[in-house]
Amino acid sequence: MFSEDLVPIGVFRGGNGLASVFRRLSRFYRPYRRFLYLSLGLLVLATALGLVYPYLLKTIVNQVIIGGHYHELPMLVAGIIGAAVVKGIFNFAFQYSGQVFGSKTGYDLRNSLYRKLNTQPFAYYDQVHTGDLMSRMTADLDAFRMFLAFGINNLVSLFLTSVFGLGLMVSMNGWLALVIACLLPILAVTAVRFDGRLRPTYRHIRKTLGTLNSGVQENIMGMRTVKSFAKEDREIVKFNGRNDDYFDANMDATQLWKKFFPFIEFVGNFGVVLILFIGGWLVISHHKGMNLGDLVAFLSVVWTLIWPLSNLGFFLNNLTQAVAAGDRLLEILEAPDELGDQGQHHTVQMLGNVDFSGVNMRYDGEAVLRDVSLSATAGETIALVGLTGAGKSTLVNLLPRFYDVDSGSVKIDGVDVREWDLQSLRRQIAVVFQEPFLFSTTIFSNIAYGSPNATMEDVRRAAEMADAAEFIERLPEGYYTLVGERGLGLSGGQKQRIALARAVLMNPSILILDDATSAVDMETEFKIQQDLERVMKGRTTFIIAHRISSVKRADQILVIEHGRVVQRGTHDELLKESSGLYRKIFDMQFQDFESVASGQAASQASAQATGKSVGQASAQATGQPLGQAVGQAAGKSSGGFSGVAVPGGGCVE
């Protein structure tokens, strides 16, 4: 599509050079080549009309001013005006066609980039920054689009003006044309060398802009943390550092421009001076019949040629930025696709039988799962317990293929997950993450996100199962209350309950709760567990939790340490292993219970002896604030919640 005669020779290099970038992006602009061809055709006509002016000026000088044929002036002026009007129409038409060419290409490219980002695996987003992706999707894409819309026409216009202008000059006076021809190679060599130095500079500019945007985006998302630690000044210093890097990168480009522009302008003006000197001498000496009109016409052509040549640096700037931007866009477009569908593409309804066999997985060269095996029949509840970083979340993330195993297999209903159709697989597995994400839309839309055809009754029922209906219905607009960005305006527990309702509404065959109730209080957790017992019937459920109360009713409990399954069994079986990690976790949580229980016993005895309230005596016995002691003395029992609250472990019955 793009031939080397459209741009200065020498910018075509291998690797990530202009030719390589445009060739790899050609699938986006090829369908709209007709608009480019139309634009270029109109550009040729507009350029040709622009060269009519010198002949009309020559005629005015020779025939009217010198020859005294004043009656010809109105016709000649009308000719100039007519040529200007027709050229203006052609200019509008070719610029409009070029804009359509660039905009349609940008539209398709934007859609493809967004589609590509939505098909990238989890591992891709573990390594990139949101701000940098936003910079590529906006600033980089717009730089590439603008070059297609205007940059190509500018370069072609320069080429046509140079060719037509030199031809016209030669036809007027070969000696003067030779003077200009001697200057053009100087301009061309300068432009090529300038481009070679400018391209890496602009790539660095775009990289620093991406880093700057990433920092701003991260700071805004973490503003509550910044303010809670009073680190505003530190963040400002970090931003200033990134802003300085971006400024310095732009100044590096400016240093190049300040050398290029003056040199180009000097060469152009020097050429005009030479033409005036040599041409004036030729007119005075009447060399080969050259007259004043010929010199005026020749100077008109020179100025027509000098203007685009003086903007050569600007045109190369657009080209360089487009190549740098296109290269960054290609890094997204050519990234490895999401874990590909393989095999028979199973799309049948899942039963929920799960089998992990000899699973090993490494992340960034470090083993995170080592020879993990487990089996779960349909309808079973499997709990995963272990210290932070043990590999619990990584293990369950293999089920919906957020990641793939390095060795071993993960099977559902006897079929390797890599043999399932990816969309079908994920539609039948619901995941509630520890850090739930809510979209900036209504609560209804957030709950119905995975089930777009759900009715209000369906959404309300799911919210009730997640113990979210009560607080939702207290909101001003109920289920149609708009949620702030990332769920701002809602507590952590409220966001988790909405996310849980969203998963319940999907009616999945496999439900994964990744510490899904960590942000709710123990009383709410107990209510949710009671409701979830109904939800989990008939579906396989994986629970990751740190509270023993969340997992003790599971059919199987697996204790994971350093990526290995070190214990498995039921709650009662694991408690009997006195040296096991599960028992240690239980004891750590139970110690807190014993402390509270002893404090309550002391407070009751003291209350009977002194006549004080139980809360006052408890506060005195335990050394706690009165409000906290009263809450513990009350046991936080309500709504059928039996047992004593355990600060680290939920409820011990």
DSSP 279-328: HHHHHHTTGGG--HHHHHHHHHHHHHHHHHHHTHHHHHHHHHHHHHHHHH
pLDDT tens for 197-226 read 777 887 788 788 888 887 887 787 777 677
pLDDT tens for 58-113 read 888 888 888 778 888 888 888 888 888 998 899 999 999 999 999 999 999 999 99
| 633 has a pLDDT exceeding 60 | no
Residue type at position 54: P
Domain count, the chain: 2
Average pLDDT of span 300-309:
78
pLDDT of residue 79: 86
Contact 497, 466 (CB under 8 A): yes
pLDDT band at 190 (very low <50, low <70, confident <90, very high): confident
Q: Is residue 199 part of a domain?
A: yes
pLDDT of residue 9: 30
Copy the structure tokens of residue 469: 């209906």
Q: Which of 304-313, 488-497, 512-521 has the highest mean pLDDT?
A: 488-497
DSSP string, 131-144: HHHHHIIIIIHHHH
Q: Is residue 173 part of a domain?
A: yes
pLDDT of residue 109: 94
Copy the structure tokens of residue 51: 């060269």
pLDDT of residue 591: 66
Average pLDDT of span 610-624:
46
| 333 has a pLDDT exceeding 50 | yes
Question: Residue 38: which H helix or E strand, with range?
Answer: helix 33-50
504 closest CA partner among 474, 476, 539: 539
Average pLDDT score, the chain: 80
* Per-residue buried b or exposed e for 279-288, using 16+ beta carbons within 10 Å of the residue's own CB: beebbeeeee
pLDDT of residue 97: 94
Q: Is residue 400 part of a domain?
A: no
Domain holding 170, by residue range, is: 13-333
Q: Is residue 526 part of a domain?
A: no
pLDDT band at 460 (very low <50, low <70, confident <90, very high): very high
Q: Is residue 63 part of a domain?
A: yes
Average pLDDT of span 379-389:
89
pLDDT band at 627 (very low <50, low <70, confident <90, very high): very low
Average pLDDT of span 192-198:
74
pLDDT of residue 486: 60
pLDDT band at 5 (very low <50, low <70, confident <90, very high): very low
| 246 has a pLDDT exceeding 80 | yes
pLDDT tens for 513-522 read 887 666 566 7
Global confidence as pTM: 0.69
pLDDT of residue 125: 81
Residue type at position 197: R
| 603 has a pLDDT exceeding 70 | no
pLDDT band at 592 (very low <50, low <70, confident <90, very high): low
- 314, 333, 352 - which closes a domain: 333
What percent of the chain shows pLDDT beyond 70? 83
121 closest CA partner among 489, 402, 515: 402
Q: Is residue 422 part of a domain?
A: no
| 288 has a pLDDT exceeding 80 | no
Question: Residue 182: which H helix or E strand, with range?
Answer: helix 174-221
The 8-class DSSP code of residue 398 comes to: T
397-401, 507-511, 588-592 — which is least confidently predicted? 588-592
What percent of the chain shows pLDDT beyond 90? 22
Q: What span, in angstroms and rounded, lies between the C-alpha atoms of 59 and 63?
A: 5
Residue type at position 604: Q
pLDDT band at 290 (very low <50, low <70, confident <90, very high): confident
Q: Is residue 535 part of a domain?
A: no
Q: Is 80 helix (H, G, I), strand (E, B) or coil?
A: helix
pLDDT band at 609 (very low <50, low <70, confident <90, very high): low
Q: What span, in angstroms and rounded, lies between the C-alpha atoms of 544 and 552?
A: 12
DSSP string, 220-288: HHTHHHHHHTT-HHHHHHHHHHHHHHHHHHHHHHHHHHHHHHHHHHHHHHHHHHHHHHHHHHHHHTTGG
302 closest CA partner among 273, 281, 264, 266: 273
| 643 has a pLDDT exceeding 50 | no
- 333, 356, 372 - which closes a domain: 333
| 114 has a pLDDT exceeding 50 | yes
Average pLDDT of span 129-134:
81
Which CATH number fits the domain that encloses residue 69? 1.20.1560.10
Q: Which residue has the higher pLDDT, 150 or 200?
A: 150
pLDDT of residue 638: 34
653 closest CA partner among 575, 545, 536, 552: 552
Q: Is residue 374 part of a domain?
A: no
- 312, 333, 354 - which closes a domain: 333
